[in-house]
Amino acid sequence: MPLVVGAALALVLAACADNAGSTAPATGQTPASDTSLAAAKANLANYLTQPTSIVQSTPLTSAPPKKKVAFVQCADPNCAILAGFVKDATAALGWNLTTLSATATDPGSAVQQAIDAGVDYIATTGYPVDLFKQQMNQAKSKGIPLFMCYSTDVPAGPGNNLYADCTDGSAAGITGGAIADFVATDSNGKADVLLVTIPSYPILTAQADGMRAELAKNCPTCKVHVLETTVNDLAGGAVPQNISSYLQANPGVNYVYFTYNGLEKGVPAVLKTAGMLGKVKLVGTQGAQPQFTEVVNGTSAAWSALPQELAMWTMVDQMARVAVDQWSLPDERKAAVTPFYLVTTPDQAKPLVDEKYGWPGPTGFKDTFKKLWGL
């Protein structure tokens, strides 16, 4: 499963209801214009090449002083990978990192451990602040800032004690919009999309909303159907058959869009057995080795490459800026949208097949951060 969603999927597994998947009506009936498709092509062009630089460019006025950081690691095993990235970034600063394991439903206990240990900063991924409000208030009273990624909480710095949320809901919406413009242009305004998502997960909803809004704006003739699934569907392996059944009942669908790459697992095989694999194009967010391999062999049409390693370094960069009293909300909000691109051709995908954790980020990004930090 991808780390972006895997960072909090265990939480969702425990919290989701057992309702069956549902569908929403298709949208988009007005004829598309050359102008709207031109807008889709123009926006898409921004995401077809691998980014070569990070967002941050302002160096720190001095090297950050030593800090003690606690990383609250989610219950999903993939979160250990994120912890490793955080360890690398904090080690570059010469900081001490403690990793604390959290359960799916009670991150507050691990946050409390961090507070009791007297750390300077607390970091986590995916968990909404609502799950540990009491500890958040306590951390604020003790002057311990919180930093996170992959959530929909909006930082306000001193206002809410949250100083980072990289690859947040706004970033998810931008990613969804880029994929919307891909299907609009790839289909020449004739896309009939089945959007597969888990609506109980806010960041996936933000992505789906961004996709639908962009498609409605730039391809009014395109249609969107929504197949709502649950984490129980995902864990039970029901998603591929649910998609196959939906496609059989709706033969006009020509694209299937996954808001999370784990939702695509097993789908190509089921569609191949049903004789439908060549009739639809598979696209989605957070491509990893399996999806990029599919782009190489023609099974998938497009997947976004989101840099998880860069995201963790971006979060630590915000810590460094707080440490030297150089943090600003506009800077954090800009940095929250980490660079990404769409992988749409075999030539683009081939190098990524060898990347175990997906595209790490622009070449040399770690050295760039170190220079910005005065190291």
CA angle in degrees (0–180, nearest 5) for 78-131-155: 85
pLDDT tens digit sequence for 38-60: 999 999 999 999 999 999 999 99
CA R_g for the chain? 21
Tokens 């059989």 correspond to what residue? 248
pLDDT tens-digit readout, 258-273: 998 889 999 999 999 9
Amino acid, res. 125:
T
Phi-psi region at 210: left, alpha or beta (left = phi > 0; alpha = psi -120 to 50): alpha
Buried b (16+ CB within 10 A) or exposed e, 200-216: bbbbbbbbbebbbebbb
The pLDDT tens digits for 90-125 are 999 999 999 999 987 899 999 999 999 999 999 999
Beta-sheet pairing, 223-228 with 162-166: unpaired
pTM over 0.85: yes
Is 223 strand, coil or helix? strand
At 126 the pLDDT is: 83
C-alpha span between 201 and 224 (Å, rounded): 19
* Beta-bridge partners for 179: none
Give the pLDDT of the chain (375 residues) as one tens digit per residue. Answer: 344 555 455 444 444 333 444 444 344 444 556 778 999 999 999 999 999 999 999 999 999 999 999 999 987 667 888 999 999 999 999 999 999 999 878 999 999 999 999 999 999 998 889 999 999 999 999 999 999 999 999 999 999 999 999 999 999 999 999 999 999 999 999 999 999 999 888 889 999 999 999 999 999 999 999 999 988 898 899 999 999 999 999 999 999 999 988 899 999 999 999 999 989 999 999 999 999 999 999 999 999 999 999 999 999 999 999 999 999 999 999 999 999 999 999 999 999 999 888 899 999 999 999 999 999
| Predicted pLDDT at 33 | 61
pLDDT in tens, 204-231: 999 999 999 999 999 999 999 999 998 8
Q: What is 160-183 written as a DSSP string?
A: TTEEEEET-HHHHHHHHHHHHHHH
Choose among 74, 70, 150: nearest CA to 112: 70
